[in-house]
Structure 1
Amino acid sequence: MRLVEPDPTLTVPLPLREQAAVRDRWLSQRLLDLMPVLMDRTGIDLWIVTGRECNEDPVLATLLPGAWLSSRRRTVLLLHRSDDGVTPVAVSRYPVGQFLPATAEPAAGPAGEWDVVRRFVEQAQPARIGIDVSADFALADGLSHSEHRALVEALGPYADRLVPAEELAVGWLETRLPEEIAALHALNRLAHEVIAEAFATAVVPGTTTAIDVAWWLRQRLHDLGVEPWFQPSVALQRAGVPLVEQAGALLPAVPYDAVIEPGDLVHCDVGLTSLGLRTDSQRNAYVLLPDETAAPEGLDELLAVGRRMQDLTTAELLPGRTGNEVLAAARSAAAREGIDADVYSHPIGVHGHGAGPAIGQWDEQGGVPGAGDYPVHVDTAYALELAVRRPVPEWGGQCVRLGLEQGVALTEAGVEYLDVRRTDLVLVPAG
């Protein structure tokens, strides 16, 4: 794919009507340029994506027009690979954006669409018909039991041609157009600005709690029109309150309702949604003691270790490797340098914890069966998420855990940070 440089003038969020127009333009381009490549790569001739209102396949939303917020009654989308490209056809009682209507009108009744699907299959004669069933990826497992049963009954002898579309669904969900990567740069820039605003205005030492700041972040994102896809979290670490073990991991032990005090290390985790894309960012701040003008040197050194761990991880993020191979290589590199770290990075894009290779989990550092065995592809985006631990001399040798997370994109040119790489520890005045 062609490269698109980050556009510092791209303003997000766009008004809703403009967002819908952008998403429709992206969908048309993805169906034209991307879908044939993915169907050829996975060997599927016809992809059937179906869902009923209030129980949509997660893939379905990525194929619907920008003005649609859900399926209507039953919506069946057929993507047929032929010599001319991919023909998208909708079997629905409503017009479905870039999809052509099926030549036959669905018969009356709740299951009338299936007769049309059967006639389409008889005419197209696809050798392999992909459906969304998957044991490893929930995002590729959206065909409900009832819909599967109805489809099998409708296809009759053609049901023998049904195959899991797991790799096709994951490829469709994980792959980003250059324009989408450019938008992710802008969205991550906005996320970083909101985090900086929270540290500057919402963190009031001696007054606000970690929960107060978390709700401030959620409200701020809502007011900006970029809804969070998870409740923002804010965690504190302070001298004299050591880490505690949970599920085999060492995690902060300061209560979330504790008031933020001078000398605290404040960590936040925020993700926003716009243009059908998502971000996931973490950043750390240190609240200065009254007589301090800089953070303790031990915390700055720990941050430098975290940056080094980011470098070690991105160096191993190579196309063709599985997520588990990336994880093992990054952890081996850390061990050689004496870095105590956990890596738990994940794809991001249409969904926050997106489709694609899992690169560890915070409580699974030996690899993730299934999702971790999926290979890395180019034109994908990830939340580069990890944590490093180290004793801090200024805290009496207490071990501090520093969590880092920032969006990156992997293209033919290599790994690039979305927005800019954040390398500093934010300093918050004592008051």
Structure 2
Amino acid sequence: MNYTVNQEKMGQAAKALHERKIDLWLILTSEGSDPCLPLVTGVKTVGPGAFLIAANGARYAVCSSIDAQDIEESGLFQEVIKYSGGLEEALASLVQRLAPSRIALNYSKEEHLCDGLTLGCYRWLMQTLKDYTGEFLSSASFLTELRSIKTPEELRRIRQAIAVTLEIYEAVFQRLQVGMTEKQAGELFLTEMKERGVVNGLDRTLSMPMVLKENIAHRQPSDRVIEPGDLVIFDYSIEYEGYVSDIARTVYFLKEDEEDAPEDARFAFQAAYDAISAAQAALKPGAIGHEVDAVARQFLLERGMPEISHATGHQIGRETHDGGTLLGPRWDRYGQAPYGRIGENMVFTLEPTILPGKPPYILLEENLVVTAEGSEYLSERQKSLVLIRS
């Protein structure tokens, strides 16, 4: 088992705790219940357990004796405390020994990926630490940052996921044909995934991407038949060593007498392409999420396109929607995510979608990393409609 990412993340966590004057981060878990565990520790417990990271960099695990071996062999913790009876006494004793003034716990109103402490576990913890006189506070601010700011190893894995995704797209486009159903087109991806030993990044199974001839939505491919003159959207992700891509492409199936897509389709494609270029120029450290969204949104409106019905972009990493700052409008449904500040080494999608209306529908989705001065594309851009001959 490779714990490089977890070593990096625990180091990030200790630094974040120190900067915020938080003494201790306590992650309570059973059966891997907290969604932060794959990112932070890389190990989990079957029985009740706790992982603790201190601002001085010290790391502790409290677990049953049957859970201890993997945790000890990971080499991630300076001290692994094994209990034989119950977790309560061992955890309370450790917290008393460390004597922290402030303890961060995984609860959040806004960010589900930071809300790993269930109500029952919270009540149990309050009873277990009833003699603790310090302060409890949410870990959401630094855990969101931990997910968002990618380490060198995380970036390497994301780059590889993107490279494999583009390779699969290229192979599939060579085999697409008029007359296929959406499902048959989706099955081409399954063949390529099997050959490369990868799975869909959305559900972590060998499943099809979204193949959308019409009814543009998050849905599985259907039995709709692709005909000459159809635009078809492919929205696809693969997982590589725990990290994912998220790339969409739009394909036009030529009629027999056509050499190129119709003018309105090409115009809409160029509008979406240029909107991504404009958003990329605005995607830089210090920018606010809704500011980047506004650039792409206004760009398309000025070209007579329908208003984008969702966010212009989102973060990717361990998940295709990795939380944190959202490149979205200031709509109630997005909460505080569009108000987040963009930082170096965050990885985003840009996907200013043109949905059915007067122009044809177009979805291009690229992946980018924020750099010290701006941002750069991780995915090779789709520069024109993919054309499939009848």
Q: Which residue of 1 aligns with 2:10?
A: 31
Q: Determine if contact 1:360/1:367 at 8 Å carries over to the other structure.
A: no
Letter in 1 for 2:17: M
Task: Specify whether residues 176 and 104 from structure 1 end up closer, same or farther in structure 2 by C-alpha distance, changes over 3 A only.
Answer: closer
Q: Determine if contact 1:226/1:272 at 8 Å carries over to the other structure.
A: yes
Match runs of 1:135-146 below 5 Å: 135-146=109-120
Query: 2:385 aligned with 1:411, yes or no?
Result: no
Task: Specify whether residues 365 and 298 from structure 1 end up closer, same or farther in structure 2 by C-alpha distance, changes over 3 A only.
Answer: farther
Q: Deviations over 1:227-269 (max 9, x none)?
A: 11335111115xxxxxx8xxxxx879xx942211121111100
Q: Determine if contact 2:26/2:53 at 8 Å carries over to the other structure.
A: yes
Distance 2:261 2:299 in 1: 28
Q: Which residue of 1 aligns with 2:205?
A: none
Distance 2:296 2:76 in 1: 43
Letter in 1 for 2:35: P
Q: Which residue of 2 aligns with 1:59?
A: 36
Match runs of 1:208-287 below 5 Å: 208-218=180-190, 220-230=192-202, 231-236=208-213, 256-287=222-253
Q: Deviations over 1:351-407 (max 9, x none)?
A: 11102112228xx8677213223322221111212213698xxxxxx5212111111
Distance 1:332 1:150 in 2: 50
Match runs of 1:382-421 below 5 Å: 382-388=348-354, 398-421=358-381
Q: Determine if contact 2:181/2:225 at 8 Å carries over to the other structure.
A: yes
Shift of 1:328: 3.3
Q: Deviations over 1:65-117 (max 9, x none)?
A: 4xx5x5322231100112xxx11211123142233264643242xxx223222
Query: 2:165 aligned with 1:205, yes or no?
Result: no
> RMSD in angstroms over aligned alpha carbons?
2.7
Q: Which residue of 1 aligns with 2:60?
A: 89
Shift of 1:336: 5.0
Q: Deviations over 1:255-285 (max 9, x none)?
A: 9422111211111001111211111110011
* DSSP-derived class of the 2:229 partner: coil
Task: Specify whether residues 366 and 298 from structure 1 end up closer, same or farther in structure 2 by C-alpha distance, changes over 3 A only.
Answer: farther
Q: Determine if contact 1:48/1:130 at 8 Å carries over to the other structure.
A: yes
Query: 2:89 aligned with 1:115, yes or no?
Result: yes
Distance 1:319 1:303 in 2: 28
Distance 1:126 1:186 in 2: 41
* DSSP-derived class of the 1:354 partner: coil
Shift of 1:48: 1.0
Q: Which residue of 2 aligns with 1:100?
A: 77
Task: Specify whether residues 427 and 351 from structure 1 end up closer, same or farther in structure 2 by C-alpha distance, changes over 3 A only.
Answer: same
TM-score, length-scaled by structure 2: 0.87
Q: Which runs of 5+ in 2 are unaligned?
A: 203-207
Q: Which residue of 1 aligns with 2:321?
A: 353
Shift of 1:161: 1.4
Task: Specify whether residues 47 and 222 from structure 1 end up closer, same or farther in structure 2 by C-alpha distance, changes over 3 A only.
Answer: farther
Higher strand fraction: Structure 1 or Structure 2? 1
Task: Specify whether residues 317 and 366 from structure 1 end up closer, same or farther in structure 2 by C-alpha distance, changes over 3 A only.
Answer: farther
Q: Determine if contact 1:236/1:256 at 8 Å carries over to the other structure.
A: no
How many residues are matched? 375
Shift of 1:35: 2.4
* DSSP-derived class of the 2:353 partner: strand
Task: Specify whether residues 152 and 251 from structure 1 end up closer, same or farther in structure 2 by C-alpha distance, changes over 3 A only.
Answer: closer
Distance 1:424 1:178 in 2: 32
Shift of 1:309: 0.6
